[in-house]
Amino acid sequence: MERVAETLTILQPEDKEACDLPRVSEEELAIGKKRLYIESYGCQMNFSDSEIVAAVMRNAGFATTGTAEEADLIFLNTCAIRDNAEQKVRNRLKQLNVLKKQKPALLVGMLGCMAERLKAKLLEEEKIVDIVAGPDAYRDIPKLVEEAESGQKAVNVFLSREETYADISPIRLNSNGVTAYISIMRGCDNMCSFCVVPFTRGRERSRDAYSIVSEARDLYENGYREVTLLGQNVDSYKWSHADDTEHVNFAGLLERVALVHPDLRVRFSTSHPKDITDEVLYTMAKYDNICKYIHLPAQSGNSRILKLMNRTYDRAWYIQKIDRIRAILGEDCGISHDMIAGFCTETEEEHQDTLSLMAYARYDYGYMFAYSERPGTLAAKKYADDIPHEVKNRRLNEIIALQRNMSLERNQRHIGKVQKVLVEGTSKRSDEQLCGRNDQNKMVVFPKGNLRKGQYVSVLVTECTAATLIGEVVD
Ligand code: SAH
Ligand code: SF4
Ligand code: F3S
């Protein structure tokens, strides 16, 4: 029972920012080199960008460290998606100020979405910051560091229409050596009215398909067994060869990556309901190694609110997408969502529509948020943020409670069934247990035996919580 209580907390309100937990760079051999500490906030794309930054900095003579106190240079790779994401970083800067006082030569740089949103204003607001670099300026960081070393404040927040860092081999940080992320596109051309991303990450652009496939192949050859293709809107991936002889859409890219090796699992995130096509769903069905799991953010279950959000689909369209997924990939396909509670003018009935959409979709998992107004967005300009804090939170808690019940119910479906699991490492709770994910992205925990990470094993599920499947290895 204790385990149940512990794992259920994943879906508690205080964990709704689970994806905002920072990641920290690791210790590298640093003889004769300067030390860089990177702390990353926000989404997987930011984590993946930190791996690009580590690669750029290695060429400039820096080794990463996992301890801020040992660093000559500290980067915070920041997120601006909600106000509390920014507050977290502001608080961290206060702590780092203490370090800087002890070690005046220490340089502090702000990277990522908050850097892009606030630009040079950050230098005025946060005196401790020496360097500000937006998401498209990471090749320029060594130069910015040199400028800062000579005592000037250094800023580059130029957003590019072309930059994809296609030629840079990321240095895998926080890696388990089994699963890795591959960034396939950058930016976003959608204008969801609540969202700051189009302003912080610029225009959408897709990365060269060959460089993506070759990164996947390198990872496979180095022992990795799962790649997740990343973008704000992967289904609008579109790349053409310079001589215009070849055009690759997302379904085509998925197929190319799936063909790297049948033992390399392929996942992807995020899908926009307006762009995911039957062709993508059929490609998923065709290849066993493309995982049957789709992250399909809804944001609301009400058509009027979806219109105000500028999501470009309505409730009926979203439901029809869920139906297509179930028709082509079956009942077992994992589906997760993002949902926003208390968007401008949302009524109780409209909130009920969100709950009823969730019940219809039978989601396996969800990322759920209270609406947070972001300066400069369409919603901030056009609509009043008029839902009181307590109401937003109450609605959010209802959404979370429903999701918790559904997650448990969806997990119970697996009890008594054998799952193919890719071993990722030792379970957080016990050295005697291993953990890994099944096809639907669910964490499975089972006794260690003689297994190694990177192996595929068959696990018979015997019990579950809302967050984890528990089982034993069978032949
Ligand atoms: N590209 C993805 C989402 C990226 S942001 C998509 O289109 O679905 C991740 C999630 O953060 C969003 O799906 C949304 O649910 C949430 N989010 C974005 N802006 C927000 C805001 N202003 N307030 C609360 N949640 C927000
Ligand atoms: Fe933001 Fe919408 Fe783009 Fe997602 S699709 S990043 S929510 S603007
Ligand atoms: Fe945050 Fe930027 Fe990602 S705002 S969610 S780090 S794209």
What is the pLDDT at residue 430? 86
For the domain with range 418-474, which CATH number is right: 3.90.180.10, 3.40.640.10, 3.40.50.2300, 2.40.50.140?
Answer: 2.40.50.140
374: helix, strand or coil: coil
Query: Ligand 1 pocket, 338 CB below 6 A?
Result: yes
C-alpha 349 – ligand 2 centre gap (Å)? 25
State the Cα–Cα distance between residues 109 and 27, nearest whole angstrom. 19
Query: Ligand 3 pocket, 230 CB below 6 A?
Result: no
What is the pLDDT at residue 31? 67
What is the 8-class DSSP label of residue 200?
Answer: H
For ligand 1, atom 24: residue with the closest CA? 371
Comparing C-alpha atoms, which of 394, 456, 382, 445 is closest to residue 421? Answer: 456
Q: At what angle do helices 141-149 and 44-59 cross, to 10 degrees?
A: 60
**CATH class of residue range 2-156:** alpha beta
C-alpha 187 – ligand 2 centre gap (Å)? 9
- Annotated ligand binding at 344? The verdict is no
Comparing C-alpha atoms, which of 293, 368, 337 is closest to residue 10? Answer: 368
Query: Ligand 2 pocket, 186 CB below 6 A?
Result: no
Averaged pLDDT, groups of 10, the chain, 475 residues long:
29 35 75 89 95 96 94 97 96 95 96 97 95 98 97 96 96 91 97 97 97 98 97 96 92 98 98 97 98 98 98 98 98 97 98 98 97 98 98 98 97 97 91 94 94 95 96 92
Query: Ligand 2 pocket, 233 CB below 6 A?
Result: yes
Domain range summary for the chain, segments of one domain joined by +: 2-156, 179-412, 418-474
**CA-to-CA dists, residue 381 to 116, 226, 339, 373, 386, angstroms:** 19, 42, 22, 10, 13
Check if the beta carbon of residue 320 is closer than 8 Å to that of residue 277.
no
Which atom of ligand 3 lies at the shortest distance from residue 81's CA? 4
- Annotated ligand binding at 464? The verdict is no
With respect to CATH, is domain 179-412 assigned 3.40.1190.20?
no
Which atom of ligand 2 lies at the shortest distance from residue 338's CA? 7
Please tell me the number of the ligand nearest to residue 116's CA.
3
What is the pLDDT at residue 242? 86
- Annotated ligand binding at 188? The verdict is yes
State the Cα–Cα distance between residues 472 and 325, nearest whole angstrom. 30
State the Cα–Cα distance between residues 418 and 457, nearest whole angstrom. 10
Query: Ligand 3 pocket, 200 CB below 6 A?
Result: yes
